[in-house]
Amino acid sequence: MVTIAKRSRPDARTQALSLAGKIDERLDAAMLLGELAGTAKVLLDLARISTVTSSGIQAFCRLVEGLVRGGASEIVLLRVASPIAFQVAICPGIFDPARVESAQLPFVCGTCGEERDHVVPYVAGADRSHPPACACGATMELDGMAAQYLPT
Ligand SMILES: [Zn+2]
């Protein structure tokens, strides 16, 4: 299940929640909506989400709908973990009107084999325009195909 790993209030109209764990049918939308009641701008950091089930996707969509009904005018998904990026790549716009701003994706070094998660902007080609540098000096590559995780 999903827990709130961290909460902050960047400004008077904005609340930021960092969610961790597995998004499944137990996602407690009512609890999260209570936390975020009356917030105009909602930032959800999803870097620590480990898994998303199909019923979790539906529950998350209901959360987004609930936020909109509650008056949120801007919902931003930050650092979406690869399971979420994967779902959005399969079904673009699935979380509309929430906007994906960045994704935390797996990268691998072709020279030394080092693996690391790295945050890139959620734009086409971000794996090539914003790759991390490996400690060995080489440029790391996305571990997988860009179309699996990023807009095309
Ligand atoms: Zn390396």
- Rounded to the nearest angstrom, the distance between the alpha carbon of 39 and the centre of ligand 1 is 43
Distances (CA, A) of 27 to 81, 126, 151: 17, 30, 26
- Rounded to the nearest angstrom, the distance between the alpha carbon of 59 and the centre of ligand 1 is 39
Please compute the mean of the pLDDT values over residues 75-92 and round it to a whole number.
96
Dist CA 133 CA 137 (whole Å)? 6
Phi, psi values for residue 61, rounded to 5°: -60, -40
Whether 1 shows a pLDDT value over 90: the answer reads no
Q: Which two three-digit tokens encode residue 36? A: 């975020």
- Rounded to the nearest angstrom, the distance between the alpha carbon of 116 and the centre of ligand 1 is 10
- Rounded to the nearest angstrom, the distance between the alpha carbon of 115 and the centre of ligand 1 is 8
**Closest of 34, 59, 47, 54 to residue 106, by C-alpha:** 47
Whether 117 shows a pLDDT value over 90: the answer reads yes
- Rounded to the nearest angstrom, the distance between the alpha carbon of 114 and the centre of ligand 1 is 5
Domain 2-100 top-level CATH class: alpha beta
- Rounded to the nearest angstrom, the distance between the alpha carbon of 142 and the centre of ligand 1 is 13
Contact 54, 80 (CB under 8 A): no
Reported as a single tens digit per residue, the pLDDT across 47-65 is: 999 999 999 999 999 999 9
- Rounded to the nearest angstrom, the distance between the alpha carbon of 138 and the centre of ligand 1 is 5
- Rounded to the nearest angstrom, the distance between the alpha carbon of 139 and the centre of ligand 1 is 7
The answer to whether the pTM exceeds 0.85 is: yes
pLDDT of amino acid 132: 98
For 37, half-sphere exposure in the C-beta direction (CA atoms, 13 angstrom radius) is 4
pLDDT of amino acid 11: 95
Whether 20 shows a pLDDT value over 90: the answer reads yes
User: What are the residue boundaries of the structural domains of the chain, listed by start?
Assistant: 2-100, 106-152
- Rounded to the nearest angstrom, the distance between the alpha carbon of 131 and the centre of ligand 1 is 12
Bin 47: left if φ > 0, else alpha if -120 < ψ < 50, else beta: alpha
